[in-house]
Amino acid sequence: MNDYLQQMETFARQNKIPVILPPTREFLCNLVASKKPNSILEIGMAIGFSASCMLLSYDKAKVVDLEASLPNIALAKQNFKALGLEDRVEIIVGDCIKTLPNLVKTGQKFDMIFLDGPKGLYVDMIDMLLPMLNDDGVWVSDNVLFKGMVRGGKPITEHRYINTVQTMQKFLQILENHPKLNTKTLDIGDGLCVVTKKEK
Ligand SMILES: C[S@@+](CC[C@H](N)C(=O)[O-])C[C@H]1O[C@@H](n2cnc3c(N)ncnc32)[C@H](O)[C@@H]1O
């Protein structure tokens, strides 16, 4: 990881902006480097850390990034510029539950999707994201094992986590039992769900 990315990660942790954990970064970077996706859709950009990591792993990749927080967007733009990545990122500003349906309508498809946005909406996004994934694309979702509370028996420590835990359980149940998908749930970072489409 280069010095600037390291600074971004430190800034995020100091300012309590959640970004991907180191094992997740390593997994994503390896995946991008081997799969070479030309087009990536990310839901949840924050300050652009994961997007920058992915873009620096394959120099032909471009990212369409959905983000609602204006302060995060301002910081992400600064970061992309500093890394010389600004021409490879299109930022769609606003609540993804509103901006995603518009993106679906454009008919755009992606070689890779990285879902790292509002956890309570993961289930609602399934039917929007699947049609946007190319037949040979890969869709990775973060936080699906949420602090070990989704599987593995760790108790739910705070009332406010109940919705997230239940959403993730439903999300995994749908994707793991989907007849047209290959789904692997990996105990990496906060839990990654990796989906590809079965051959027709
Ligand atoms: C976990 S952070 C993303 C971290 C980023 N992927 C990284 O690792 O560098 C989640 C982001 O989703 C954004 N977000 C939350 N709810 C959203 C919504 N409804 N629409 C769009 N963005 C949202 C938050 O503002 C936050 O920046």
Closest among 63, 48, 53, 9 to 30, alpha carbons compared: 53
Judge residue 3's burial from the number of C-beta atoms within 10 Å of its C-beta, 0-12 exposed, 13-18 middle, 19 or more buried: exposed
Residues framing ligand 1 (Cβ under 6 A): 18-20, 44-46, 49-50, 66-69, 72, 95-97, 116-118
How much distance in Å is there from the Cα of 96 to the middle of ligand 1? Answer: 9
Q: What is the pLDDT along the chain (200 residues), one digit of tens a residue?
A: 799 999 999 999 999 999 999 999 999 999 999 999 999 999 999 999 999 999 999 999 999 999 999 999 999 999 999 999 999 999 999 999 999 999 999 999 999 999 999 999 999 999 999 999 999 999 999 999 998 899 978 888 888 889 999 999 999 999 999 999 999 999 999 999 999 999 87
Domain ranges of the chain: 3-197
Give this prediction's pTM.
0.97
- Domain 3-197 fold is Rossmann fold (3.40.50)
H-helix segments, 150-195: 162-176
